[in-house]
A and B are shown apart, each in its own frame.
Chain A
Amino acid sequence: MLEIKNLHANIEDQPILKGLDLTINAGEVHSIMGPNGSGKSTLAQVLAGHEAFEVTEGEVRFHGEDILEMEADERARAGLFLAFQYPVEIPGVSTMQFLKAALNAHRKERGQDEIGAVEFMQLVKTKAKLVELNQELLKRPVNEGFSGGEKKRHEIFQLALLEPSLAILDETDSGLDIDALRIVAEGVNQLRKEGRSFLVITHYQRLLNYIVPDVVHVLVNGRIVKTGGRELALELEKSGYAELGVDEEAEQPAAAR
């Protein structure tokens, strides 16, 4: 489903990804772990099509298609979803209008008609339950006045609504207390299904207690240095990144922090 070969990416001329290879097959859950500044979030943003990052080398194929030439919205409609680490607050844009615009953009891509008001409300209700999202929040502008946990649940709620084939969760666990973490993880687990893949980016393995990955990768200094099963995450938890020769303090280029 996703094939990344020798990916190099810069931000403001500073190289962050330095030859990253990764393959995710349909239905698999991969996790990328790594110290701060190793390039985890950069990878997520590059895959989603953020313009601040410049891909200098390599290729990314999604469902066999080269997505590097595609705009962020085209990638989204092709089935790639990014759950943001820091969801943006957008004053003045009503969450319901935004969700409807997003959903209809997907439906149009699939050749479906726009969703009717009643059906839409029904759908929102069902999906909101999945992550115990208070529907009152949806009456507010996008992410405005949401707590950290509510923002993360809102991300997973959108995932449920848009039904992508690949979901990238960028440090969805950051800033969550254990209850919120459990709710988010359970939501994700309910969305696991045949043919849908996940890329779970995290600094700590605690999220992986709930979302059990098939494959764990360790990203250091812009490259994947180790790949293994879920036991790799537990090893890292125990011994830290130092075992891999990483000095966490030194591994933080300013632009990637």
Chain B
Amino acid sequence: MPTTAPTEAIAHYESLAKQRLDHGPAWLRPIREQAIARLADLGLPTRKHEEWRYTDPARLTQTNFTLPSDRATVTAEQVARFAIPDLDAHTLVFVNGRYVAELSHIGKLPEGVTVLPLNDALDKHRDRIEPHFAEEGEPSSKAFTALNAALCDDGVFVHIAENKQLDKPVLLLNIMAGTDEPTITNPRTFFLGDANAEGTIVERYVSLDDSVYFTNAVAHVEAGQGAHLSHYLIEEESPKAFQLSTLLTEQSRDSNVDSHTMLFGGELVRNNCNPRLNGEGGDCLVNGLYMPTDHQHMDNHMRVEHNAAHCDSRQFYKGVLNGHGRSVFSGRIRVEIDAQKTDAKQTNANLLLSDDADATTKPQLEIYADDVKCTHGATIGQIQDEAIFYLMARGVDRTSARAMLVYAFAAESLERMQLEPVRNMLGKMILHRLPQGDMLEHLLEY
């Protein structure tokens, strides 16, 4: 349980929650009340809490964030800056946490598919939303999922009916535009696929400037029997921003969920990922890359829960750290007593590009079943001198050789992504973040 942080922070959030109580339909009010009561009960985490030992949440809990007030003006041209080349998508644009219809283009949807801004879905789809609105997820982030439930202003609801498919991805573009006060937004995503449904959702978080704010996002992904869902998170928050994102997935029998996370921006980022394999034969892929530089801190907190037999989980998280960048990888695989024949694999590899960068990795297995296959591996290293020498011995200069090797290390994460336009864009973004990476660009187009 989180230990209680200064009561002022809780009191502050309680006062914010009061402003939100009447936002949305009447049925939501008691959920919000319960959520804030739960937050008060849990308290906010501090560093004394084991799961926050390597990431100091003080900055998150000691800043008096306010709710975004006026809708900032963002132009279509500014939105266009964040277009993903060649990606045809049902696009929903959010500015400072709120849906902006004029900037969005959801377009025509296939039969059996619903894509709505959350506020338009609360009543129409109450039966699918209500049971999960107060969802808690893994223990260390309960306080923040409660905070999200209490303060949530907007989000998205995507539902794919049985045997139906999304014809193209749903893109959520979350744009923060400068505000005078540090603000908090609490976006909520519901991505639900019934039996044999298929679809992809891309959440992208960007900022127009370098203001201070806190994004406390929660995504609930539910894959029915035999469903195949993909979730992408591309985080490019302002260099002074905080992001805490929690991905909760629930998988039924024979379903398939893959999650891809790319962390680029933010001052302090905590990425909670909590897949729950609840039906036999489920399969999940948890893939990610984080690239902290300067004084960025990126914490990836995984908890894969095998609750049924014959499920496979694959986790591949990689970090490229530069400057004074810091990262934490905490990966727990929990295999319940009934989850026999579990096949779980976890790897975390970190590449340190500077002496001041620091990576902490903490794999943990918690296994209550006896017939399982669980492996984990973690590495922290530098670029191999022998590989640099080999490239240089062929005439490639040292800087390009280094860039090639770092790119190769990072780009492995991209190979697991199905969505080619996203993969291509991320490849370029990785290059732009590497020392001298730009010079490789023409080469990689080959």
Q: Which residues of A contact B (CB under 8 A)?
A: 48-52, 71-73, 76-77, 81-82, 84, 87-88, 90-93, 96-98, 100-102, 105-106, 109, 117, 141-142, 158, 162
Tell which of A109, A141, A142 has the most Cβ of chain B within 10 Å: A142
- In contact, B386 and A88 (Cβ under 8 angstroms): yes
Q: Which residues of B contact A (CB under 8 A)?
A: 384-387, 389-398, 400-401, 404-405, 407-409, 411-412, 443-444, 446
* B221 shortest CB reach to chain A, Å: 29
User: A49 with B392: in contact, given A73-B398, A93-B405 (CB under 8 Å)?
Assistant: yes
Kindly report which residue of chain A lies nearest to residue B404, judged by CB atoms. Answer: A93
Residues of B within 8 A of A142 (CB): 390
- In contact, A100 and B404 (Cβ under 8 angstroms): no
* A160 shortest CB reach to chain B, Å: 13
Residues of A within 8 A of B405 (CB): 90, 92-93
- In contact, B392 and A72 (Cβ under 8 angstroms): yes
- In contact, A76 and B408 (Cβ under 8 angstroms): no
Residues of A within 8 A of B395 (CB): 73, 76-77, 102, 105-106, 109, 162
Instruction: Give which listed residue, A77, A91, A97, A117, contacts B444 with CB less than 8 A.
Output: A97
- In contact, B392 and A90 (Cβ under 8 angstroms): no
- C-alpha spacing A158/B385, complex, angstroms: 21
- In contact, A162 and B394 (Cβ under 8 angstroms): yes
* B201 shortest CB reach to chain A, Å: 28
Kindly report which residue of chain A lies nearest to residue B408, judged by CB atoms. Answer: A92
* B402 shortest CB reach to chain A, Å: 12
* A134 shortest CB reach to chain B, Å: 20
Tell which of A51, A52, A97 has the most Cβ of chain B within 10 Å: A97
- In contact, A49 and B412 (Cβ under 8 angstroms): no
- C-alpha spacing A73/B402, complex, angstroms: 13
Instruction: Give which listed residue, A51, A88, A105, contacts B397 with CB less than 8 A.
Output: A105
- In contact, A48 and B393 (Cβ under 8 angstroms): yes
- C-alpha spacing A90/B412, complex, angstroms: 12
Kindly report which residue of chain A lies nearest to residue B390, judged by CB atoms. Answer: A88
User: A76 with B387: in contact, given A90-B408, A100-B443 (CB under 8 Å)?
Assistant: no
Residues of B within 8 A of A82 (CB): 393
Instruction: Give which listed residue, B404, B409, B412, contacts A98 with CB less than 8 A.
Output: B404
* B208 shortest CB reach to chain A, Å: 34
- C-alpha spacing A101/B400, complex, angstroms: 9
Tell which of B385, B394, B444, B446 has the most Cβ of chain A within 10 Å: B394
Kindly report which residue of chain B lies nearest to residue A100, judged by CB atoms. Answer: B446
Residues of A within 8 A of B396 (CB): 73, 98, 101-102, 105
Instruction: Give which listed residue, A92, A106, A117, A141, contacts B446 with CB less than 8 A.
Output: A117
Going nearest first, the 3 A-B pairs with the smallest beta carbon separation are A92-B408, A72-B392, A102-B394
